[in-house]
Amino acid sequence: MHKKLLFNLQLGFTLLVCAFLIVPVVLSIMAGLTVNYIVGIESGLTLRWVMEVWNGYRGTIFLSIGISLACLVCTLVLGIPTAYVLARRQSALSRAIEELLVMPVAVPGLATALALIVTYGGLSGFRTSWLFILVGHVLFTLPFMVRSVLAVLMAIDLNTLEEGAASLGASWWRRFRDIVLPNCRAGILAGSLMVVTLSMGEFNMTWLLHTPFTKTLPVGLADAYASLRLEIGSAYTLVFFLMIMPLLLALQAFAQPRINKFVPEDDAQ
Amino acid sequence: MSDINPMSIALKNCAKTFADGTRALEPLDLSINAGETVVFLGPSGCGKTTTLRIIAGLEEPDAGGQVLFDGQDVTQIPIEQRNVGMVFQSYALFPNMTVAENIGYGLKIRKIPSAQIKTRVGEMLGMMQIEKLANRKIDQLSGGQRQRVALARAIAVRPRALLLDEPLTALDAKLRDTLRLEIDTLLRSLQITAIYVTHDQAEAMALGDRIVVMEHGRVAQIGKPRDIYQKPSTRFVADFIGTMNRLNGAVRNGVFTCRAGDLHWADAPADASEILFRPEDIRVTDSAEASALRGTIAAAFFLGDRTRLFVEVGEKQPLVVESTVRRDFSHGEQVGLSIDPRGIMIL
């Protein structure tokens, strides 16, 4: 009896916390689908606001997707070799580099953005290009790629695996392709999802780096909430939600730690 | 199975100093005959693994050092072009591949047609009796199975030499015995040049045609297992291999006198002040009173086929005696001892 009461209390509390977190999301989504938010759901459901977002902010969606994919390519090209070198060379210098790489995450995005503007703001072609935002995003997301690949590489005794492959005749490139890359696939995948998600949702830095012609989705979202009807802002949130949710779910699925099970000696004749 | 063409290996003046200044290996000269199994034996840090890695091409000797395969200088050739098979202590199997893919990897690198790879992998699986594991992933294998896969993978490419770096250290004692026998049979049937690194003297004695005992980056002794055991050239070798008894004393008129009594030893050199002998060269006599050497039993362990006795004779260490006499020994009992002069060593 006592146990059951305790269970119900816990269940109730959990549901309450869930409601606290989920209700605003649902309300916001509903606001984006309601004809008139002030009147409420009785005014009817509509896709009109979503269409208006599509018509007015389509460009920001494509720019965000484009930047996040370009950012992914950059972090893959820069991050995997970096993690590989850091894993191979265990020295005080490599540890220091590893720590320095995390700086853009520790420093507020606004500060990084200001530093970029102060340094490169004069290069007008660069300043007004989407590449300017990409640079900021790469700075911010690179540590996440490096860290997640490095974590996997550190767990697999990379040096010995490579020596094993070399003893079988594999050149450096074959070893990298056949042994290093496949064995850090989990880290690359987790890092990639993280990079795309972070780049897609990045606001702090992008807000300073953007120009009227290089607005990303989160910047557009802030813009919509600040200057347009609440319904349009909410519909915009819904679009963002639909784009980011699959990424987050995939991240969750691939970030499961691999469990090494013990295999007993059944063959000791 | 003699489709392997073994080679001779020679090291000339090979030393190794690491970047931090540590001297891992003093200049070493060594020649290994084709088809021979040589065991590098020594405590950790003695330079045995460094030597193996220099032969493999995983480390470069200091300037002036040379590695020769069949008389040809390979010092500058990287490991991937040396065609040596290697078995690592941690196996170094590729987790992203199955057992069969691991074994076939070296053949794939050599661009051998896939049908031939399949045949060769099948042969290897059969030889190591692991056919049913062919499609397993590495993390689904036990330690013993992994070791067999590692051996099969190293041999599959028909290397000119097989280098084994403490291959059994990670396994439990019983499995180690089984695999030691398997490796011995394998090396004999392949007639491959093999270098085996271990810190386990029993492994070294069982497998080696010759043993290279190493200490502090130097070779302490090179020889057949029997010579190393019976005629150790230094105190270090004498102590590292097997159990050694010591008695301190002086020689007078063909008699070695020590605290335990007198030992009649016709060939005794006049300046001998310490003699060494193995536990099997000393035995307990029938009567303590009639013996010229005597001691007191400090401990007795019945081991089934024999009794290991620790006999106090007034030295720093009690003597170890392996007795096969069918009787009980009690603590504090006085016993007579007799030493076979043929087993006596002086270092």
In this predicted structure, what is the pLDDT of residue B75?
Answer: 92
The C-alpha of A153 sits at a distance from chain B's nearest C-alpha, in angstroms, of 12
Average pLDDT of chain B to the nearest whole number = 90
Q: Which phi and psi (to 5°) does residue A24 adopt?
A: -60, -35
Task: With beta carbons under 8 A apart, name residues in chain B contacting A268.
Answer: 144, 174-175, 178
Q: Residue A10: inside a domain, yes or no?
A: no
Say which residues have a Cβ less than 8 Å from residue A191's Cβ, sequence separation at least 6: A75, A79, A144, A145, A146, A147, A148, A149
Query: Which CATH number characterizes residue A39's domain?
Result: 1.10.3720.10
Using an 8 Å Cβ cutoff, are A136 and A206 in contact? yes
Average pLDDT of chain A to the nearest whole number = 85
Sign, CA torsion A33/A37/A41/A45: negative
Q: Measured between alpha carbons, how far is B104 from B112 in angstroms, rounded to an integer?
A: 10
Q: Residue A20: inside a domain, yes or no?
A: no
Interface contact B92-A166, CB threshold 8 A:
no
Q: Measured between alpha carbons, how far is A262 from B83 in angstroms, rounded to an integer?
A: 33
What range defines the domain where residue A84 resides?
A: 26-255
Using an 8 Å Cβ cutoff, are B198 and B166 in contact? yes
Average pLDDT over residues B138-161: 91
Q: Residue A122: inside a domain, yes or no?
A: yes
A190 touches chain B (CB under 8 A): no
Q: Residue A180: inside a domain, yes or no?
A: yes
Smallest Cα–Cα separation from B77: which of A169, A34, A244, A178? A169
Task: Return the percentage of chain A with pLDDT > 90, whole number.
Answer: 29
* The residue to which tokens 């043993």 are assigned: B211
Task: With beta carbons under 8 A apart, name residues in chain B contacting A260.
Answer: 139
Q: Residue A261: inside a domain, yes or no?
A: no
For residue B136, what pLDDT band results from cuts at 50, 70 and 90? very high
- Give the chain A residue whose CA is nearest to the CA of B86: A167
pLDDT tens digits for range A182-238: 988 888 988 998 898 899 888 888 888 888 888 888 888 888 788 877 888 888 888
Q: Residue A155: inside a domain, yes or no?
A: yes
Q: Measured between alpha carbons, how far is B162 from B341 in angstroms, rounded to an integer?
A: 41
State whether ipTM is beyond 0.95: no
Q: Residue A149: inside a domain, yes or no?
A: yes
In this predicted structure, what is the pLDDT of residue A261?
Answer: 61
pLDDT tens digits for range A76-101: 999 999 999 998 887 888 888 888 88
In the predicted model, is pLDDT for residue A259 greater than 60?
no
Task: With beta carbons under 8 A apart, name residues in chain B contacting A179.
Answer: 94, 96
The C-alpha of B44 sits at a distance from chain A's nearest C-alpha, in angstroms, of 19
Q: Residue A7: inside a domain, yes or no?
A: no
Overall domain count for chain A: 1
Residue B226 corresponds to which tokens in the numbers above?
A: 């029997």
In this predicted structure, what is the pLDDT of residue A267?
Answer: 47
In this predicted structure, what is the pLDDT of residue B9?
Answer: 94
For residue B228, what pLDDT band results from cuts at 50, 70 and 90? very high
pLDDT tens digits for range B45-75: 899 999 999 999 999 999 999 999 999 999 9
- Tell me the pTM: 0.79
Interface contact A170-B105, CB threshold 8 A:
yes
pLDDT tens digits for range B280-334: 899 888 777 777 888 999 999 998 888 999 999 888 889 999 888 888 888 888 8
Query: How long, in residues, is chain A?
Result: 269
Mutation test of the interface with chain A: which of B79, B97, B110, choosing the one with the most A Cβ atoms within 10 A?
B79
SS3 B216: coil
Task: Return the percentage of chain A with pLDDT > 70, whole number.
Answer: 95
A173 touches chain B (CB under 8 A): no
